[in-house]
Amino acid sequence: MQEKDTTQTDPDGSVPVAALTQSGIPVVVLQPTDAGYLVLTPCGNTAEITNGAPIDRAQVVVDPGHGGEWDTGAVGPNGLVERDLNLKLSRAVLEELADRGIPAATTRTFDYGVSLSVRAAFADAHEADVLISIHHNAPTWVRGDGPGSEVFVQSATPLQARADSARLGGLLYEEITTALAAFDDVAWSRLPDAGVLRVLQPDGTDTYGILRRPSTPSALIEYGYLSNHSEAELFATTEYIRVAAQATVDAIDAYLHTDRLGTGIIHEPRSFDPQSSSTPCDDPSLEWN
Which pTM does this prediction carry? 0.94
The answer to the question of residue 60 being in a domain is yes
Are 128 and 254 found together in one domain?
Answer: yes
Are 149 and 198 found together in one domain?
Answer: yes
The answer to the question of residue 107 being in a domain is yes
pLDDT band for position 288 (50/70/90)? confident
How many domains does the chain divide into? Answer: 2
CATH code, domain carrying 79: 3.40.630.40
Can you give the residue range of the structural domain that contains 109? 56-271
List the alpha helices (DSSP H) in the chain: 82-99, 116-126, 163-180, 209-212, 229-235, 238-257
The answer to the question of residue 256 being in a domain is yes
Are 154 and 28 found together in one domain?
Answer: no
Are 136 and 70 found together in one domain?
Answer: yes
pLDDT band for position 28 (50/70/90)? very high
Q: What sign does the dihedral 159-250-141-134 (CA atoms) show?
A: negative
The answer to the question of residue 277 being in a domain is no
- How many Å apart are CA 253 and CA 151, to the nearest integer? 17
Are 49 and 120 found together in one domain?
Answer: no
- How many Å apart are CA 36 and CA 53, to the nearest integer? 10
The gap between the terminal CA atoms of the chain, to the nearest Å, is 31
Are 45 and 91 found together in one domain?
Answer: no
Instruction: Point out which residues pair with 131 in neighbouring strands.
Output: 61, 218
- pLDDT recorded at residue 8: 52
The answer to the question of residue 159 being in a domain is yes
Cβ–Cβ < 8 Å for 286, 48: no
Are 140 and 112 found together in one domain?
Answer: yes
CB under 8 Å to 56, separation ≥6 — which residues?
A: 16, 103
Which of 244, 148, 248, 236 is closest to 188 using CA atoms?
A: 148
Cβ–Cβ < 8 Å for 164, 253: no
pLDDT digit string (tens) for 78-126?
999 999 999 999 999 999 999 999 999 999 999 999 999 999 999 999 9
Are 38 and 141 found together in one domain?
Answer: no
For the chain, give the number of residues: 289
The DSSP-derived string for 232-259 is HHHHTSHHHHHHHHHHHHHHHHHHHH--
- How many Å apart are CA 193 and CA 195, to the nearest integer? 6
Are 65 and 38 found together in one domain?
Answer: no
Are 164 and 45 found together in one domain?
Answer: no
Are 29 and 87 found together in one domain?
Answer: no
Among 53, 79, 98, the domain boundary falls at 53
> What average pLDDT score do residues 224-246 get?
98
